[in-house]
Chain A
């Protein structure tokens, strides 16, 4: 391990961080799909475990959390804009309210964990090694691909653009918490709009 660490000193540490984070992300997705199986999109256990993996990787990479008034306000405002797809494609079918609280809690945890990792750890690593733009694009690509095992390839275009948008929001807000709030607001509103 020490030898590896010394060797890594000679390499670009930020670049190595990106590879490690992407490998961890891939392993987390595989773990989630493996546990959730055919019902992965509806498996709350798989979702929570996936979130735990992302949080672990983000903390290990030293991702910091900044919360202030601006972060929260921009986050909420950006979340409202993310409701456009739901409003445009809505079937307006009401969902039973019975398990909303549990669903909302899990959805919030998963959404925040995804943002902590994608627009936090991964974004910071790519930004440090390359640029803000590349960080936004790589995080958006990972975000789009993450949903393929759950919903199929047809969600890639929308999720890629949503990922780009969340990346820009991250850049504006200055913290992963901003897209985290936007993402959570959009998801929670989906109960009534989808």
Chain B
């Protein structure tokens, strides 16, 4: 590789790393694929048969300045567990108030109550998102919900492999599904609908046949070994043929 090409690729890669890091807020800057282990899920009310984390879930709150009736910059809020159980990212201009100069935005865990979603049982805590102004009212703007920000919730361990985020505007309101994206190993994300309750319901997935799964894993393991053997044999064969060619020359 020429000197210039080397430096060009070096420049491209470093620029790419800096730009992607700068413009993304959801990157995991780890390259080995072994993440920091999550602590056990902290429940407000631990379900029967689930190991108790012995710690209460943490709420989170932040003070947001409002200028000209709205927040002028993005802000984020996350609960304090190792692997936050809930977090939000709110875009600038997402809040709206006629008279408030400041608002306290809170994320508070609650135990699931008797008002259950139709599609299944809630896994983990309900997280209530609220915004309390110093005076008057404050609310999320009723513009397209994509422009308000997003909520991330962590699914408890052993609660399934997929989940749907649910939302209700009040305790007595019906739950409804939100468009949910899995953004990490066990993190699920949806756009902010407004103040209210957010929770995860594990999606029903047909359970895979355990025996077939083990068989598939054994086949993969054997395949790796077979490929390694072929690689080694090819290398030997290559060496032999090179020796043979040099002799014949």
Pick the residue among B12, B36, B157 that contacts A95 (CB under 8 A).
Answer: B36
Q: A23-B227, A47-B33, A89-B29 are in contact. Are A81 and B14 (CB under 8 A)?
A: yes
Do the beta carbons of B233 and A1 come within 8 Å of each other? yes
Within 8 A of B (CB), among A33-48: 34-35, 37-42, 44, 47
Do the beta carbons of B1 and A133 come within 8 Å of each other? yes
Pick the residue among B14, B31, B225, B230 that contacts A187 (CB under 8 A).
Answer: B31
Do the beta carbons of A183 and B185 come within 8 Å of each other? no
* 22 residue pairs A–B, Cβ–Cβ below 8 Å: A24-B228, A31-B220, A34-B217, A35-B217, A42-B38, A47-B32, A82-B17, A85-B17, A85-B20, A86-B29, A88-B18, A93-B80, A111-B32, A114-B31, A133-B9, A151-B185, A154-B183, A158-B24, A162-B17, A162-B31, A171-B1, A191-B36
Distance of A146 Cα from B184 Cα, bound (Å): 14
Distance of A106 Cα from B36 Cα, bound (Å): 11
B182 interfacial by beta-carbon distance below 8 Å: yes
Chain B residues lying within 8 Å of A167, measured Cβ to Cβ, are 9, 13
Chain A residues lying within 8 Å of B33, measured Cβ to Cβ, are 41, 47, 50, 110, 114, 146-147, 150-151
**Binary interface encoding of chain B residues 223-249 relative to chain A, with 1 for a CB under 8 A from any of its CBs, else 0:** 111011111111101100100000000
Distance of A33 Cα from B136 Cα, bound (Å): 52
Do the beta carbons of A89 and B24 come within 8 Å of each other? yes
Distance of A168 Cα from B16 Cα, bound (Å): 13
Chain B residues lying within 8 Å of A41, measured Cβ to Cβ, are 33-35, 184-185
Distance of A9 Cα from B157 Cα, bound (Å): 51
B118 interfacial by beta-carbon distance below 8 Å: no
Q: A9-B237, A44-B34, A164-B16 are in contact. Are A136 and B231 (CB under 8 A)?
A: no
B49 interfacial by beta-carbon distance below 8 Å: no
Do the beta carbons of A151 and B28 come within 8 Å of each other? yes
Distance of A84 Cα from B234 Cα, bound (Å): 41
B30 interfacial by beta-carbon distance below 8 Å: yes
Pick the residue among B20, B185, B216 that contacts A158 (CB under 8 A).
Answer: B20
**Binary interface encoding of chain B residues 174-196 relative to chain A, with 1 for a CB under 8 A from any of its CBs, else 0:** 00000000111110000000000
Given contacts A34-B213, A143-B31, 12 further A-B contacts (CB under 8 A): A24-B227, A41-B184, A42-B36, A42-B38, A42-B185, A89-B27, A111-B32, A147-B33, A151-B35, A158-B27, A164-B16, A190-B29
Distance of A194 Cα from B14 Cα, bound (Å): 19
Do the beta carbons of B217 and A31 come within 8 Å of each other? yes
Chain B residues lying within 8 Å of A5, measured Cβ to Cβ, are 233-234, 237
Identity of the chain A residue whose Cβ is nearest the Cβ of B232 in the assembled complex? A60
Pick the residue among B24, B225, B230, B241 that contacts A154 (CB under 8 A).
Answer: B24
Pick the residue among A13, A99, A114, A150 that contacts B37 (CB under 8 A).
Answer: A99
Do the beta carbons of B13 and A20 come within 8 Å of each other? no
Chain B residues lying within 8 Å of A44, measured Cβ to Cβ, are 34
Report B26 CB to chain A, min CB distance, Å.
Answer: 6
Do the beta carbons of A82 and B31 come within 8 Å of each other? yes
Pick the residue among A20, A34, A53, A143 that contacts B231 (CB under 8 A).
Answer: A20
Distance of A30 Cα from B222 Cα, bound (Å): 12
Report B53 CB to chain A, min CB distance, Å.
Answer: 14
Chain A residues lying within 8 Å of B6, measured Cβ to Cβ, are 168, 171-172
Report B168 CB to chain A, min CB distance, Å.
Answer: 27
Chain B residues lying within 8 Å of A24, measured Cβ to Cβ, are 223-224, 227-228, 231
A67 interfacial by beta-carbon distance below 8 Å: no
Identity of the chain A residue whose Cβ is nearest the Cβ of B33 in the assembled complex? A150
Report B17 CB to chain A, min CB distance, Å.
Answer: 5
Chain A residues lying within 8 Å of B68, measured Cβ to Cβ, are none
